Structure 1
Amino acid sequence: MIIDLLRHGEPRGGVRYRGHGCDDPLSEQGWRQMWQAVGESSVDWPWDGVLSSPLVRCRDFAEALCARRPMPLRIAPGLREVGFGEWEGLTREQVRHGRAEEYRAFYADPVANRPPGAEPLADFRRRVEATLADESAALGVQKILVVAHAGVIRAAIGWIMDAPDGAIYRLECDYGSISRISLDAERGWRVGFTNRRR
């Protein structure tokens, strides 16, 4: 089984903390990033099915993709981005200046110092792992595109690499990038590549 993990494109509203409580649609640039990532011609698409986060910055593109070339699509609530609690919708500058102590603590140790009301990282990772395993099996195909978020992609790769919680933040995951994981019958789960853009 091959799973390509596609991060959504740039959302409207600029850069800010968007977890699962802040749901902005893709900007025009975000749509371009997504189509560029997969290629305009559906003939070139290797996937047999699609899994998507229910958030509009992912779901809208997944639905457009499957309208262009019909294939099974499952919307998976477990693929929502990690929750940022009280930071949802705030810009980095707003948090840096208005919540300076929280900001410093989070960037010093994002595992132990979550934003107030944020989803615990261990819970988020378990949610992503279980969702990927269950939903990919339910889809019943061998080449899957997952349309999701940077945190989800980091959690998935961290799962395959057996990386500690804090290590997943070191993985770059740009808008419209694709990372690949695969399941080999003899060697188990593997990471093929990360953060690839066209």
Structure 2
Amino acid sequence: MSLNDSAASHAITTIDLIRHGEPKGGLLFRGWRDDPLSILGWQQMRNATAGYFGWDAIVTSPLTRCAQFAEELSSKGGIPMETDERLKEIGFGEWEGRSPEILYQESPQLLSDFWNNPVEYPPPGSETMAGFQSRVESAWQDIQLAHAGQHLLVVAHGGVNRMIISTVLNIPLSHLFRLELPYAGISRIRIEQGCPRLVFHCGSLS
């Protein structure tokens, strides 16, 4: 191990995860569907960050509902920003763009099974949970290495941020959607001596 590697392993890295705000179009299964934020969604994101510019860098999903806000924050705060394709939401297949309420009316058991165990009961034609887990965990590992010792903001999605938190806490993949995560919800993870810890979930930056 080099001196630089040793220093990096002892550096404290703080990573804030924020979910995007409400998108235009209302409550839908919205994975790879690229809707922008609604007016309320922009307000939710601006309120959640509340003029805070203390990050060393921003990493964002490529999807519009994340990337446009990340670009605004980067521009206003003079914070370097990068996009990681691996941070896009899980693909919901045939459920993309459909209302959970209507799906529940059509197939209540199918929807209930998915929420209770998305590994065994994925939406038809969707991205597999194993594939989703693999790409998000790959991004998560690379982000930690690239930004060791920094305070970072990750702008992503409900599924992505749940996956990262589940990885940190060793929560079974089948229990992924048991984590509540509202629009513009923020969680903080601190990594010290290679050990990640959840500092807060759905908390405040202030």
In the superposition, the TM-score normalised over structure 1's length comes to 0.91
- Quote the Cα distance in structure 2 between the aligned partners of 1:65 and 1:32: 13
162-171 or 45-54: bigger deviation: 162-171
Equivalent residue, structure 2, for 1:172 = 180
The structure having more radius of gyration, on CA atoms, is 2
> Residue 80 in 1 paired to residue 80 in 2?
no
Q: Percent identity?
A: 41
Count of residue correspondences: 193
| TM alignment of 1:82-121, pairs within 5 A | 82-121=90-129
Conserved 8 A contact 2:115-2:177? no
> Residue 6 in 1 paired to residue 18 in 2?
yes
Change in CA separation of 1:79 and 1:118 when aligned onto 2, cut-off 3 Å: same
Write the letter of the residue equivalent to 1:117.
Answer: G
> Residue 60 in 1 paired to residue 68 in 2?
yes
Give the drift of 1:140.
Answer: 6.0
- Quote the Cα distance in structure 2 between the aligned partners of 1:166 and 1:114: 11
The root-mean-square deviation of aligned C-alpha atoms, in Å, is: 1.7
> Residue 195 in 1 paired to residue 202 in 2?
yes
In the superposition, the TM-score normalised over structure 2's length comes to 0.87
> Structure 2: 5+ residue runs without aligned partners?
1-12
Regions of 4+ moved over 4 Å: none
- Quote the Cα distance in structure 2 between the aligned partners of 1:88 and 1:71: 33
Conserved 8 A contact 1:76-1:135? no
> Structure 1: 5+ residue runs without aligned partners?
none
| TM alignment of 1:144-183, pairs within 5 A | 144-183=152-191
Change in CA separation of 1:164 and 1:34 when aligned onto 2, cut-off 3 Å: same
Equivalent residue, structure 1, for 2:47 = 36
Cα deviations by residue, 1:20-46 (Å, 9 ceiling, x for unpaired): 2x1110011100110111113xxx422
- Quote the Cα distance in structure 2 between the aligned partners of 1:70 and 1:140: 20
